Every structure is written in C-alpha cells, then in structure tokens.
Structure 1
Amino acid sequence: MTNFNKRLNELDLSKVIHRLKATTGATNDQCELAETLYRQFLTQKARYPNTQIAPPQVADDVWHEHLTDTVSYHNDCNALFGEYLHHIPDEDNQEAWQTAVRLYQSEFNVDVSGLEAAGCRV
C-alpha cells in the first residue's frame, strides 16, 4: 500500500477541484473536505477492490469532475490501480453506503454517516 499512498499523494487534483468550485459554488473548506473524502474513497478501493462502496455525495461530486477529463482520469486510474475505475450509477446502494460508512470510520476515523450517500457503486 505504500506505493499506492505515494502515487495518491502525487495525484494532482487541483484542476478537478477548481472545476468543482466553479460548477457548484462550493467554498474552499467544502472543496477541501470533498477532496479529502475522495482521496479516502480511492484508498478504500485500492484496499478493498472487490467491495462495493458508495462514496459520500461530496466525494462523488469530485469523482464526477475527475471523470470529465477522460484522458487524465484514465491515466490517473492506471497510475493508481493499474486499470480503469468504473463509476456505476445505482439507485439501490444502501449496502454499499453502509460499507462506506463502516470503512471511513475504521480506516480513517471519519464519521460520514451524517452525509448523503452518492447514487453510485463501484
């Protein structure tokens, strides 16, 4: 996981966060939280690749912005995971959301239970 952490730390999401702020009007603090939760979500996907996880909506918002630059997203996925990380819309993601809540708490000591679940799974 150390190599993954190094690659994740080197991941430049500044353009993604700039677009998020421009499209949503989010504050700097909101964007910082969203980016942190997105990076934690990516870490969970690296640690538990076969587990369905629905990120918090704010992390999913970053993911959506990341996806819009398809070339960068594809390259970032290859660098982080060695493959493309698909985003799959799913209205019935309660189990994947509960998994995310549990993993954010156990892995990062972050309580996301009060946040809205994103309508997706991976």
Structure 2
Amino acid sequence: MTIALEERAGQELVSAELFDRLASRIAKERDMSREFAARIMDQALAFLFACGQSRSIELCPSQLVDLGWHTFILHTREYADFCQAVAGRFLHHVPNDDGAGLTDAEEEADRTTRVISSSGFAVDPELWLTFNLSCNGGDDGCRASGKDGNENTDTNGK
C-alpha cells in the first residue's frame, strides 16, 4: 500500500506576516494581482528550500520565481535567518546579466521543479514552464551560490 504524502506550500516556511509583506510588495511593484504575487512568492520559497537541500544539483529559478527571490533578498535580516534555517548557510544570488551561456530553459525548469517536488513542495507549473529561465552553466549563473560562487557544490564533500 502506498501512502500519498501531501505536498507542502513554500509559504509555510515563513511567518504569515512576512509572506504577506513579500507577496504584497511584488503585487504593488509589478502591478499584478495579490493572488498571482503570492503564487510567485510561494514558489520562490520552495525553490530556495530546494537550493539549500540540493548541494550537488544546479538549480535555476524562472524569471517569475526570480522576482520572488529578489523581493525576499531586500528583507536582509529575514532572508539571512531563512537561509540559516533551511540551508545552514547564506544562499547567495549570482545573476547572469549579460545572458552569456544560456542553457536550455525547458531542461533547467524540469530539473529544478523535480528537485522542488522531491523536497516535498507543490510545483506551480505555470510559473516554471511558461517563462524562460536565464541561467548559465558556469559560476556566474542565476542560481543559488555559496561562499565560493556555487552553493550547490561548495560543501558537497569535495
């Protein structure tokens, strides 16, 4: 007999008050509905949790999920505390501003959403599959990175 486990929501990782502030900021700054902004923030939190747990797999946010990450980073104390709680270290963001070395967006989205799902979180496919990802296979890609520029490999036993 297989027992189905209920998927968690990313918003469960922070207080309701913080989640509301983050989602409201996205909605206001991006002129979008509060509900859509909440979906973005939820996926950003699930993505960051997966980054903290998956040190050997390079993960990349979609453009919309990246908006949530950017918004959270602006709340530096809460973001630092969150990183410590879910990853045991700070999750740095290393953007790929010039677009050099872009990888296959569908492949990146598939890999990232599989890790999010295997971490126990629900995936909102519309936020991952409809929009391009802008990541780079090198150390300056738009993904979680650590003290040496690559979060997902800096402490994997090497």
TM range (shorter): 0.7 to 0.9
Provide the aligned C-alpha RMSD in A: 2.8
Map Cα deviations across residues 8-33 of structure 1 (whole Å, 9 max, x no partner): 72413221112111211121231122
Alignment match, 1:52 = 58
> Gapped runs of 5+ residues in structure 2?
1-7, 136-141, 145-158
Query: Which of 80, 84, 97 in structure 2 is aligned with 1:78?
Result: 84
Alignment match, 1:113 = 129
| % identity of equivalent residues | 19
In the alignment, is the contact (CA less than 8 A) between 2:11 and 2:41 conserved in 1?
A: no
Structure-2-length-normalised TM-score:
0.61
Structure with bigger helix share is 1
Aligned length: 118
Matches within 5 A, 1:1-122: 9-12=12-15, 13-90=19-96, 91=99, 92-94=101-103, 98-105=107-114, 107=117, 108=122, 110-111=124-125, 112-118=128-134, 120-122=142-144
In the alignment, is the contact (CA less than 8 A) between 1:57 and 1:115 conserved in 2?
A: yes
Structure-1-length-normalised TM-score:
0.76
Task: Identify if the C-alpha distance between structure 1 residues 8 and 25 changes in structure 2 by more than 3 Å, giving closer, same or farther.
Answer: closer
Deviates more, 1:41-50 or 1:99-108: 99-108
Task: Identify if the C-alpha distance between structure 1 residues 78 and 97 changes in structure 2 by more than 3 Å, giving closer, same or farther.
Answer: farther
